[in-house]
Amino acid sequence: MTRLAERIYRTEGIVLRRMELGEADRILTLYTPQYGKLRAMAKGIRRPASKLRGHLELFTRAKLMLARGRNLDVITAAETTEAFRGLRAEDSSSLEPVGGAYRIAERLDRLTEDGVENRAVWDLLVAALGALSDGVPPRMVGLHFDLRLLGYLGYQPNLDSCAGCDRPLEPIENRYSFELGGVLCPDCRSHDPAADPLSVNALKLLRLMARQDARVVARLRLPEGLLDELEGLLNRSVRLTTDRDFAAPAVLRSLQGES
């Protein structure tokens, strides 16, 4: 095997972010099935004659060939396998779905680390972009994505029994505790005085989202107020998760890297 062949590898990937570099290059943030989040260089992609051009648009799924580099790996070939057409329309019909795709990509970039394989997250990303492309309401896709992403990263709240006393949750107003990562029954409210009220319907919807895919949940006619409630809970969960697990370890990692 030549040295070049040893440096070459293949994967699929979806483009989450693009950053212009120099006159013709781009640095891409990709999500891949085998390597999780991956940053790679697309050299010369902004030149009209580039073979990569058109295959690495935002939110496209592509087959990639890469060469390991000293700092960043370099994309040597790319071929689109799924363009998610509903995110490409020239008229205003794609504005909302594209907004939904940006939101999902931002979440994924924020909550995941480079180089950690997570096949369930890859499948979730493919399903979410597919749903957006097919016109499933972006708000529903986004809420579903947040809950599932937290779950696949190890933060699935227990939605069946109380985080304080472990008794099955009753169909009454409970509390959602970010600190305890679960739901508290009325008797256990004192375990986390900062826990937010969780309505019976919001708990039902969380359970449904944990089991069904976004397309199924989107068929239900749900009041905006209920979606607002869920959005508030999930936004705070994401924020807390980011603060807790990324701020400190990132500092530690950079210190360890320097030593």
Sheet holding 196-198, edge to edge: 182-184, 174-177, 196-198
111 and 121 Cβ atoms separated by less than 8 Å: no
56 and 75 Cβ atoms separated by less than 8 Å: yes
Give the C-alpha separation, 184 to 173, whole Å. 10
Q: Which of residues 163-182 bind Zn ion (CB under 5 A)?
A: 164-165
67 vs 36, 38, 52, 55, 183, CA distance in Å?
17, 13, 14, 17, 47
Residue 165 or 172: the one with the smaller Cβ distance to Zn ion is 165
CB of 76 to Zn ion, least distance (A): 57
Residue 188 lies near Zn ion (rule: CB under 5 A): yes
CB of 154 to Zn ion, least distance (A): 23
Among 41, 42, 185, 206, binds Zn ion (CB under 5 A): 185
Give the C-alpha separation, 27 to 39, whole Å. 7
CB of 166 to Zn ion, least distance (A): 7
100 and 132 Cβ atoms separated by less than 8 Å: yes
Choices 31-39, 137-145, 154-162, 206-214 (CB under 5 A): range interacting with Zn ion: 154-162
Residue 105 or 188: the one with the smaller Cβ distance to Zn ion is 188
CB of 206 to Zn ion, least distance (A): 17
Residue 121 or 185: the one with the smaller Cβ distance to Zn ion is 185
Q: Name the site residues for Zn ion (rule: CB under 5 A).
A: 162, 164-165, 185, 187-188
